[in-house]
Structure 1
Amino acid sequence: MLREIVEVLSEKKMKKKLTLEEGLNILNEGIAKAMMILDGYPTSTLFTCEEYMKLYDCVYDMCVQHPPYEYCSELYDIFQKALEQGITSRVIPAVKDKSHIILLYELWHMWSKYKIMAKCLGGFFLYLDRHFVEDRKSASLSDLSISCFHDLVCVELYPKLLEAAICLIHEDRDHNSVCKDLLKNVSTFFVEIGRGSMRYYENFEGAVLSNTETYYNYLVPQWLQHYSSADYVLKAEFCLNQEKERTSEFLHQTSVEKLLRLVHGLLLGQTANQLHEKQKTECGDSSLSYQDMLSRCAGLNLGERA
């Protein structure tokens, strides 16, 4: 047994050192196959277990070889360039010149495939996370993959994405859209692309609230003019219930509560005096007394903690 161990160790010791060029020849084949994930190919059809391990072993050997054959820094750069190549050759052409709902669909479609590709590539280069990244205080492979997509795609497209998402919400509010799953995906994307920060989602939330305020500020004067006080309150109750049901499907619960408080204030808070005066002038309309109206308003459910 001891002799066998010595033989194995001797074989490893005598193993020919991989040069950077030789390693790249092996890795480039795997990287080219990984790029095909962005074209829709499943990972399982591209790599056998043996091929995957060969690529992992290649990176491992190039990391643990003694200088000048230790290539951790170079491999980290190769991983980043592979991500960037996938983005520039596949992702950007797919979303370029798209707008509105098509842009949102294409972005989510490519983002989903890109995450799979990045995970696949990350498996080849996994040893960097365990060795090089921690030592050099560099971004993890996962964080680097998000950073590349953010810098090359999201920075430029973010205003268009936000505009398209708000437009879709507006259409959904007017019952012209059945894209709630897409809105949920867009909301998820804004969280994921933030690299641990909620900044993009919070910007999205702020835009939703602003659009909601504009929407109801436009409608309230018309409703006050054309509806009785009783019908107005019923309309307000219906809108609040609809907003809660709709936004709960794609916003975080805290965002839903903020939106419902906003809508409640716009529809019933700032119009209370006008509704009271309107109710007093409505001769013969006793379908809903003012006290009943106040009770109904107070009883509207704005959310779990509102």
Structure 2
Amino acid sequence: MKRKLTLEEGMSILQEGISKAMLILDGYPTGSLFTCEEYMKLYDCVYHMCVQQPPYEYCAELYEIFKKALEESITSRVMPALKDKSQITLLYEVWNMWTKYKVMSKFLGGFFLYLDRHFTEDRNTASLNELSICCFRDLVFSELYPKILEAAISLINQDREDNSDCRDLLKNVSTLFIEIGSGKMHYYDNFETAILASSANYYNRLFPQWLLYYPPIDIFMKAQNCLNQEKDRASQFLHQTSVEKLLQVVHEQLLGQTALDQAKLYEKQKTECGDCSIQYQEVLSGCAGLNLGEGSSRV
């Protein structure tokens, strides 16, 4: 029979493993950090500290040790890496750190795996995986989410202007918003809402410029081209339902009632100036029901 491990003795064994696991956030490959024997030694340590008889049963203490290790990894490595980052560099780095953090927390969770079987279910508390997500969300997202969201919207607008090679990054950001919500869509839904509002604003500003410089037929061709581009762009990083909502917003600004109202105002101004050229509002009225594209709804 193995002798009893005190909390202090167990902690001295685990601390070395925790410190090594944190090196994953510095870019160290997992294969270079632990041998199988070292990994099993750490797992066995936690296992025995969980199954010992009171007062040597330390499940609750080990759960707190795991949590504190996660929190320390974030405050000592993740947040400093994100400090002073903004726009696209922030998006790249937050995805990079989230990816490494998930690997680290899974690796670290392997040491403490017996807690999920012997403690979290019995106490009806967060699993180790759930806890790792909560720590990142509480310590990183609570502070940086507005900046991350703003940077993502800015990147989408930039992509409209110059077709920048950023859609894989936007896909990663979209995935991050879902994963950080533990399967709930709160962060992603906010992302979708911000995209729709930003897109409506973008095309609402763009359409009056078209009225000034382009004949009706060119405007309709440009509008259809924008719809096609939006569908192609958004399909690469948004859910299909979000893509359909986005196309409806763009359609409304370029070919729907919003565009028609702007055209009426423009025609009124032209008439007052004595210009009797073709009326945009009549053509817009005839095109208001244009299809948004195969597989999309009609407005």
**Structure 1 and Structure 2 fold alike (TM over 0.5):** yes
Whole-Å Cα distance in 2 between the matches of residues 114 and 147 of structure 1? 12
- Secondary structure of the residue aligned to 2:65 is helix
Deviations 1:86-132 (A, max 9, x none): 00110000001111111111101100000000000110000000110
- Paired amino acid for 1:282: I
Corresponding residue of 2:43: 56
- Paired amino acid for 2:46: V
- Secondary structure of the residue aligned to 1:301 is coil
Corresponding residue of 2:278: 282
In the TM superposition, what is the alpha-carbon distance from 1:304 to its structure 2 partner?
A: 4.2
In structure 1, runs of 5+ residues without a counterpart are 1-13, 284-288
TM-score (normalised: structure 1): 0.88
Corresponding residue of 2:85: 98
Whole-Å Cα distance in 2 between the matches of residues 223 and 300 of structure 1? 20
In the TM superposition, what is the alpha-carbon distance from 1:39 to its structure 2 partner?
A: 0.5
In the TM superposition, what is the alpha-carbon distance from 1:184 to its structure 2 partner?
A: 0.8
Whole-Å Cα distance in 1 between the matches of residues 92 and 243 of structure 2? 24
- Secondary structure of the residue aligned to 2:210 is helix
> Given that residues 257 and 302 in structure 1 are in contact (C-alpha distance below 8 angstroms), is that contact kept between their aligned partners in structure 2?
no
Q: Is 1:25 matched up with 2:12?
A: yes
Corresponding residue of 2:160: 173
In structure 2, runs of 5+ residues without a counterpart are 271-275
- Secondary structure of the residue aligned to 2:162 is coil
Corresponding residue of 1:196: 183
- Paired amino acid for 2:86: S
Deviations 1:120-153 (A, max 9, x none): 0110000000110011111000000000001111
In the TM superposition, what is the alpha-carbon distance from 1:297 to its structure 2 partner?
A: 5.3
> Given that residues 38 and 110 in structure 1 are in contact (C-alpha distance below 8 angstroms), is that contact kept between their aligned partners in structure 2?
yes
- Paired amino acid for 1:301: G
Q: Is 1:299 matched up with 2:295?
A: no
- Secondary structure of the residue aligned to 1:138 is coil
Corresponding residue of 1:11: none
- 1:124 to 1:101, Cα distance in 2 relative to 1, 3 A: same
> Given that residues 256 and 288 in structure 2 are in contact (C-alpha distance below 8 angstroms), is that contact kept between their aligned partners in structure 1?
no
Corresponding residue of 1:259: 246
Whole-Å Cα distance in 2 between the matches of residues 37 and 112 of structure 1? 10
In the TM superposition, what is the alpha-carbon distance from 1:226 to its structure 2 partner?
A: 1.4
Which shifted more, 294-303 or 92-101?
294-303
Q: Is 1:76 matched up with 2:68?
A: no
Q: Is 1:38 matched up with 2:34?
A: no
- 1:267 to 1:224, Cα distance in 2 relative to 1, 3 A: same
Which of residues 54, 69, 80 in structure 2 aligns to 1:67? 54
In the TM superposition, what is the alpha-carbon distance from 1:227 to its structure 2 partner?
A: 1.1
Corresponding residue of 1:213: 200
Corresponding residue of 2:223: 236
> Given that residues 260 and 302 in structure 1 are in contact (C-alpha distance below 8 angstroms), is that contact kept between their aligned partners in structure 2?
no
Deviations 1:175-218 (A, max 9, x none): 15211111111111111111221101111111111110110110
In the TM superposition, what is the alpha-carbon distance from 1:21 to its structure 2 partner?
A: 0.9
Q: Is 1:158 matched up with 2:141?
A: no
- Paired amino acid for 1:300: L
Equivalent residues, number? 286
Which shifted more, 264-273 or 52-61?
264-273
Larger Cα Rg: Structure 1 or Structure 2? 1
Corresponding residue of 2:110: 123
Whole-Å Cα distance in 1 between the matches of residues 22 and 49 of structure 2? 22
Deviations 1:4-57 (A, max 9, x none): xxxxxxxxxx32011111111111111011000000011111111111111111
- Paired amino acid for 2:162: H
TM-score (normalised: structure 2): 0.90
- Paired amino acid for 1:194: G
> Given that residues 150 and 193 in structure 1 are in contact (C-alpha distance below 8 angstroms), is that contact kept between their aligned partners in structure 2?
yes
User: Percent identity, aligned pairs only?
Assistant: 66
Which of residues 87, 96, 121 in structure 2 aligns to 1:109? 96
Give the root-mean-square deviation of aligned CA atoms.
Answer: 2.2
In the TM superposition, what is the alpha-carbon distance from 1:299 to its structure 2 partner?
A: 3.2
In the TM superposition, what is the alpha-carbon distance from 1:272 to its structure 2 partner?
A: 4.1
